[in-house]
Amino acid sequence: MREVEKTKEEWQQELSSQQCFVLFEKGTERPFSHPYNDNKEEGVYACAACGTPLFSSDHKFDSGTGWPSFFKPVNDQNVEEIVDRSHGMVRTEVVCKTCGGHLGHVFSDGPRPTGLRYCMNGAALKFVKSV
């Protein structure tokens, strides 16, 4: 049971088709296609579906992969990590703990201090600029 649960039709009324594809069909956007990949502004990246704060610009880095990447979430309680055995691989999927939306995957090839790379789809995020 998630804190925020809506039908597919409700999400489709609130989100773009790309956001629905990524968040609720576990899709992936093309690398280097989302403006958040190059965003250098200060702020918080929240879930595009439910608004839960997920990642901070303070933890963002250029991974060279074409997707916004972070070395840790704002709060470990806001994300959930799930074993993903799709596409003939074993990876760790990252979802929003509040609504269950697919965000991307986490890998162990990131920078210090965590050594993690949270490789997120920009379409799954909503940037809230610091004031």
Beta bridge partners, 95, equal 80, 102
Of the residues 48, 119, 120, 125, which is catalytic?
119
Rounded CA separation 33/36 (Å): 9
Is 20 marked within a binding site? no
CB atoms within 10 A of CB 36: 18
The residue type found at 130 is S
Rounded CA separation 34/68 (Å): 8
Tokens of 81: 């990590």
Active site residue 20: no
Among 73, 83, 88, smallest CA distance to 120 is for: 73
Q: Which residues are annotated as a binding site for Zn(2+)?
A: 47, 50, 96, 99
Active site residues: 119
Could you tell me which residues are annotated as the binding site? 47, 50, 96, 99
